[in-house]
Amino acid sequence: MMVMSKKVWGVILGLSVLIILFSCSNAQAVTIKTPENTLRNELTEKSEKTVWTKEIEAGRLNSKLNDFINIADKNLVSPQLVQSLRNVNAPVYPQIKDFAGLDTSTMNSILLNTVKDFCNAFKDNSDELSKWFYNDYFFNYVFFQKDFTEVWEKPENPEQPVFDRFVICSAFEGDEVVQVPVRFYKGKEYIDLSLFLSYHGGYKINQIEIIRWGKLNGETEKQQ
């Protein structure tokens, strides 16, 4: 009886081992589904099925802007910089001490060109200055030439310029007459003039006034 029981138990134990081994060999992995895993699987599946196009200029997308326009990072345009530019005040122009400012931006272009043409001719020692004077005031041209030769010596050679350069200053506009200050330079010396012009089918000079002449160090030799 005891012998039979041991055999039966042996058979049962053997069958149990076989059943367990068989079950393990056919077992399938059990996945615990959660909302996160489900969403991740869906995204992975859609990504694998999606046909992606190639990147256009991938190098530019991975580089800084200044790598291509060759400027420093601090110079890149920013919203703050744009706003600051909008708030910039009107430009500040220099001025000649005790004479006039140098802002000619608001001058009439015809007036400015007339003054430039006259100043170039005067600087270059032209003998045709009278054509810039209004006929009714031609005697003022004669007086100016006389006064000028008394305070400034012209070169004997007519081809040699009287001055090196000139600067046109801000105009003072009246109802009928415009006053334009001009400074002429020769080496370390200068002479300040005021041109008075009026419009007669074009701007013509009525009178030229000699304001002063002196040296560039600011010490005026003579005044009128």
Per domain, the residue ranges of the chain are 95-223
Strand partners, 196: 179, 207
Sorted by sequence, the CB contacts under 8 Å of residue 180 that are 6+ apart come out as: 111, 115, 168, 169, 171, 172, 194, 195, 197
Note the pTM of the prediction, 2 decimals.
Answer: 0.56
Q: In sequence order, what DSSP letters do the residues of the chain get, joined into one string?
A: -HHHHHHHHHHHHHHHHHHHHHHHHT--------HHHHHHHHHHHHHHH--PPPPSSHHHHTS-THHHHT--GGGS--HHHHHHHHT--PPPPPEETTTEE---TTS-HHHHHHHHHHHHHHHTT-S-GGGGB-GGGHHHHHHHHHHHHHHSPPPSSTTS-S-SEEEE---EE-SS-EEEEEEEEETTEEEEEEEEEEESSSEEEEEEEEEEEEETTS-EEEE-
Q: What is the mean pLDDT of residues 79-95?
A: 65
pLDDT digits (tens, 9 = 90+) for 140-177: 999 999 999 888 888 888 788 999 999 999 888 888 89
pLDDT above 70 (res 125): yes
95-223, what's its fold?
Nuclear Transport Factor 2; Chain: A, (3.10.450)
- The pLDDT value recorded for residue 223 is 39
**Torsion over CA of 93, 179, 141 and 98, rounded to 10 degrees?**
-50
For residues 158 and 203, give the distance between their C-alpha atoms in angstroms, rounded to a whole number: 27
- The tally of CA atoms less than 13 A away on the side-chain side of residue 215 is 3
Mean pLDDT of the chain: 76
**Torsion over CA of 55, 59, 65 and 67, rounded to 10 degrees?**
-170
- The pLDDT value recorded for residue 153 is 85
CB 91 within 8 A of CB 83: no
Two structure tokens written together for 165: 């350069």
pLDDT digits (tens, 9 = 90+) for 11-55: 566 666 566 655 555 555 455 555 556 777 777 877 777 776 666
For residues 140 and 145, give the distance between their C-alpha atoms in angstroms, rounded to a whole number: 9
Q: What angle do CA 109, 111, 116 make, to 5 degrees?
A: 90
pLDDT digits (tens, 9 = 90+) for 34-45: 555 677 777 787
Two structure tokens written together for 91: 């430009």
